[in-house]
Structure 1
Amino acid sequence: MQMSPWICYAVGYVFITSGILKLVVSDFQVMFMNLGLPFPSTTLFLIAIVEIGCGMLVAGRMYVKLAVPPLILIILGAIYLTKIPVLLNKGFLSFAFEARLDIVMLILLLLIWQHVRGKIVV
């Protein structure tokens, strides 16, 4: 079964725009400082570059097999660092609302990964 390229375009779009915003909006630096991550400015920059680069690869449907795993790790990290505290402090409904895009992106990334697994996608 052929996967629609629109899924790759949508996933790529979300990560590209997210990465660009991390580079140009100063609020992200403040948020990263509050997460307690080591070297928050460097971590933010690296995550932004990976999101932009891998997002472009997914959108262009090039090297998808290599581009998807770092994005899955970023989504899992985002859920763990920013959404699980919502679940613990505000409850399930707030968590479900706050994490909706992360969960959808994780599912789409897993669908893309499942589709390309075992295939050689350049």
Structure 2
Amino acid sequence: MSKWIYYAVGYVFVTSGIAKLVVGDFKTMFANLGIPFPAASLFIIALLELGCGMLLAGNMFVKYALIPLIIIICGAILITKLPILFSNGILDFAFQSRLDFVLLIFKFTQK
């Protein structure tokens, strides 16, 4: 696999982790989703995305970095994307979840 793919996927998770730490709207969003301990959950997820994203971008411990990221992506699909499917339909769901599925496919294709 090209090192550029690792850079790109790592970039997605690093920027997502930083945004979760800096942007205050994420606290409200996590609280509205009904996630237990929303502030702590947000902080842990942000740190995992940031740390594992940096490992991917550095092509280090890729197999170990992918495990928490797969769990985060599956959780994101279940908690935030499936309600879109049931309320807005398949087209909106497909559009909103496109990056999640691309990243998930990438992660499952790694050796």
TM-score interval, smaller chain: over 0.9
Question: Is the aligned partner of 1:111 residue 2:98?
Answer: no
Deviations 1:47-77 (CA, angstroms, capped at 9, x unpaired): 0000000000011011111100100000000
Offset of residue 111 of structure 1: 1.8
Offset of residue 5 of structure 1: 0.7
Q: Report SS of the residue matched to 2:36.
A: coil
Q: Distance in 1 between matches of 2:29 and 2:67?
A: 24
Question: Is the aligned partner of 1:28 residue 2:30?
Answer: no
Equivalent pairs, count: 111
Q: Report SS of the residue matched to 1:87.
A: helix
RMSD: 0.7
Q: Report SS of the residue matched to 2:109.
A: helix
Task: Give me the TM-score of the superposition, normalised by structure 2.
Answer: 0.97
Residue 64 of structure 2: aligned partner = 66
Deviations 1:75-120 (CA, angstroms, capped at 9, x unpaired): 00000000000001110000000101111111111122xx2xxxxx
Percentage of matched positions with identical amino acids: 61
Q: CA contact under 8 A between 1:32 and 1:41: conserved in structure 2?
A: yes
Question: Any unmatched runs of 5+ in structure 1?
Answer: 116-122
Counterpart among 7, 10, 22 of residue 8 in structure 2: 10
Offset of residue 30 of structure 1: 0.6
Deviations 1:16-37 (CA, angstroms, capped at 9, x unpaired): 0000000000111110001111
